[in-house]
Amino acid sequence: MKPKILVTEALGPEGLAYLAEHAEVDAYDLLPPELLPEMIGNYDAVIIRSAHRITRELIVGRPRLKVVARAGAGVDNVDLDACTELGIAVINAPGANAIAAAEHAFALLMAVMRNIRLGDIHVREGGWNRQAFLGEELHGRRLGIIGLGRVGRQVARIAHGFRMTVGAYDPYISPEIFEAHGAKQYRDLESLLKDSEILTIHTPKSGPHLDERLLRLLPKGAYVVNAARGGLMDEEALAKLLEEGHLAGVALDVFVHEPPSLDSPLFRQKRVVVTPHLGGSTFEALANVGVMTAKGVIETLNGITPPNLVNVPIPPLEVPELHALDTLCQTLGRLFSELHPTVNHRLVLTAGKLIPKEAIPWLRQSLIASLLQGRLDERVNTVNALIKAEQQGLTLMVNEDPKAAERTALSLMWEGHPETLIEMEWADDAVHLRRLDNVAFDLVWPEVALITRHRDTPGIVGHVGTLLGEFHVNIGNLHLGRRALGEEALMVMTLDDRPPAGLMEALVKIPGMIAAYLLA
């Protein structure tokens, strides 16, 4: 049965078309917010923009809801903590509207520097006094960028086209990123402000708040632009500095309260240009945001980790590598959980040297989720894995093994019990089993696998083959392994199809059979 998705605001035809291919969709240009509480519990996913808030009260007691998506860069109107606790994935669309937001920042900047708004009003009133509206050029100006993320980098690119000098402050970005985008790196915010004739900010809500003291550090005659998040700049301080003549102009697309009060002191200043949060509002950005959001929702509902999952530490990897590691991790977790279900020790995860270090936190959560799925009646997934693990007393530690091989491999075992070690590797676009209960194997992991643990005595393999024949089950490949002659042995069979009911019960009745496991 297809999942049901609720879209509360305009998403764009491309995004809606993608959703409709994979789900039942109820879409609104603008769903009245008061209707959302009574509707949200009937859907597997909900996609919002800016007009709705996803609160704890709204999602508690909605067991069907699996995904909350914000069709935009931020998730300020989503209770991330509550979603994480409840195992609800949160999706957004970072960078999909970066070009639109950067271009809008320059549109605002040029509008205020060239007196576009004032000149427009003047002409409409019958005037033609060109001298009264002399403007200023961007060419050669010192631009300061706070936040050199996706939007900030596009701003730097455009600024170079105007032959501006670019400086930036972002404590979370490496020097190589500054160099690659032709921006002088400032180690502290105050130094950047003192050098910036034009200032623009492109950070999330958690970015620095520019109060009057900081804004006064700007050179006299500076221009200020905020097309990022409301509240990053003190609006009353901006109005005061404009009135004093310290600032030459202010351009805002976002406000602390949206829509802003008409009594705002900024609206009494002529050298102010404002727009109603239009930074990402272009046809192209709407299409990009819609498709990115839609893909993230559908992938999450299908058990695939998308790169735009917010409340999981997704590493900055290319999508094919991300999906490969996701498949490797989930396969290992399911196999280990099936063969070693008892939680009695700490788990030890060891990664091959070709596993990116930045991927380890996410892989750790993904493995825990794979281990706990099926053991608990409540929802458990990568989103709430750490919370559920703590409740179950499960600990997974990462082993920094200097002798780890140069492979894209993961191994897992209970601490102090090397006989439980299972190792898998991603190679040649497939998952390979390398060790099973610390016994060497070498096979491509199949869609349907039958595993037996049995006494190393003659005849058991033949009995198993005969029994599968009686149940009309065809064996594609068969792999045997053991630690030593006469000890416990393991057999992994790849099957063409999922076997019929009754086979597993019959298998464990074979003399010498210890256990049998089916993974499909």
Return the CATH number at 462. Answer: 3.30.70.260
Compute the mean pLDDT over every residue in the chain, rounded to the nearest whole number: 93
The strand pair at 89-91 and 184-185 is best described as: unpaired
Q: Are 35 and 55 in contact, with CB atoms under 8 Å apart?
A: no
Q: Is residue 39 over pLDDT 80? A: yes
Mean pLDDT of 198-217: 95
Strands 396-399 and 409-414: unpaired
Catalytic pick among 277, 432, 434, 454: 277
Q: Where are the alpha helices (DSSP H) in 163-282?
A: 175-180, 189-195, 212-215, 235-244
| Amino acid 343: pLDDT | 66
Residues 416 and 351 in one domain: yes
164 confidence band (pLDDT: 50, 70, 90): very high
Instruction: Give the number of C-alpha atoms closer than 13 A to the C-alpha of residue 62, restricted to the C-beta side.
Output: 27
Higher per-residue confidence, 154 vs 317: 154
Whether the per-residue pLDDT at 378 is higher than 90: the answer is: no
In this structure, the chain runs to a length of 520
Would you report the helix, strand and coil content of the chain in percent, each value rounded to 5? Answer: 35, 25, 40
Spatial neighbors of 260 by CB under 8 A, at least 6 apart, are: 235, 266, 267, 274
The C-alpha atoms of residue 339 and residue 329 are separated, in whole angstroms, by 16
261 and 126 part of one domain = yes
pLDDT at 355 over 80: yes
Query: For the residues 448-464, what does the mean pLDDT come to?
Result: 91
Q: Which residue has the higher pLDDT, 223 or 305?
A: 223
Could you tell me if 112 and 209 lie in one domain?
A: yes
pLDDT category of residue 344 using cuts at 50, 70 and 90: low
- Kindly state whether residue 279 falls inside one of the protein's structural domains: no
Same domain, residue pair 402 and 473: no
* Residue-level pLDDT at 94: 86
| 58 conformational bin, left if phi > 0, alpha if psi -120 to 50, beta if neither | alpha
Predicted model pTM:
0.72
Tens digits of residue pLDDT in 69-126: 999 877 889 999 999 999 999 999 988 889 999 999 999 999 999 999 999 999 999 9
Distance in angstroms (rounded) separating the CA atoms of residues 466 and 469: 5
- Please indicate whether residue 258 is annotated as part of the active site: yes
- Domain termination site, one of 379, 410, 442: 442
The pLDDT of residue 292 is: 95
Phi first, then psi: give them for residue 381, nearest 5 degrees: -150, -175
- If you average pLDDT over residues 437-444, what whole number do you get? 94
Residue 341: inside a domain: yes
Evaluate whether 106 touches 334 at the Cβ level (below 8 Å). no
What strands lie across the sheet with 24-27, from one edge to the other?
A: 24-27, 4-7, 45-48, 67-70, 89-91
Could you tell me if 306 and 177 lie in one domain? no
Q: Find the domain containing 41 and state its range.
A: 4-96+284-311
Kindly state whether residues 115 and 146 are assigned to the same domain.
yes
- State the helix-helix crossing angle for 360-372 and 385-392, rounded to 10 degrees: 60
For range 202-219, the mean pLDDT: 94
Instruction: Based on the fold, state whether residues 435 and 452 are members of the same structural domain.
Output: no
Query: Which member of 70, 141, 181, 229 is catalytic?
Result: 229
Residue-level pLDDT at 394? 86
Of the listed ranges 343-347, 354-358, 392-396, 423-427, the least confidently predicted one is: 343-347
Give me the pLDDT at residue 487, please.
Answer: 79
* Whether 116 and 241 share a structural domain: yes
Residues 306 and 376 in one domain: no
Distance CA(248)–CA(165), nearest Å, equals: 19
Contacting residues for 126 by C-beta, under 8 A, at least 6 apart:
none
Of 508, 503, 506, 513, the C-alpha closest to 460 is: 513
Read off the CATH number of the domain in which 433 is found: 3.30.1330.90
* Cis status, amide bond into 259, omega within 30 of 0: yes
Same domain for 126 and 157, yes or no, is yes
Task: With respect to residue 231, please indicate whether it lies within any of the assigned structural domains.
Answer: yes
358 shares a domain with 218: no
- Read off the pLDDT band of 58 (50, 70, 90): very high
Taking the C-alpha atoms of residue 313 and residue 358, their distance in angstroms, rounded to an integer, is 9
Domain boundary among 274, 296, 325: 274
Q: Is 454 a catalytic residue?
A: no
Total domains in the chain come to 4
pLDDT reading at 374 higher than 80:
no
Looking at the fold, whether 164 and 235 belong to one and the same domain comes out as yes
Q: Is the pLDDT of residue 345 over 80?
A: no
pLDDT attached to residue 390: 86
Q: What is the CA radius of gyration of the chain?
A: 29
pLDDT of residue 127: 96
Which residues on neighbouring strands pair with residue 411, listed in sequence order? 350, 423
Mean pLDDT, rounded, for 501-505 = 90
Has 323 been annotated as catalytic?
A: no
In a domain? residue 365: yes
Lookup result for tokens 């068969």: 478
Which residue among 244, 258, 284, 419 is the active-site one? 258
Distance CA 268, CA 262 (A): 10
- For residue 164, give the CATH number of its domain: 3.40.50.720
Mean pLDDT of 377-394: 86
- Beta-bridge partner residues of 424: 410, 433
Which residue, of 427, 442, 457, is where some domain finishes? 442
Q: How far is CA 116 from the centre of its chain?
A: 39
Name the pairing type of β-strands 165-169 and 142-146. Answer: parallel
The verdict on residue 348 lying in a domain is yes
Q: Does residue 173 belong to any structural domain of this protein?
A: yes
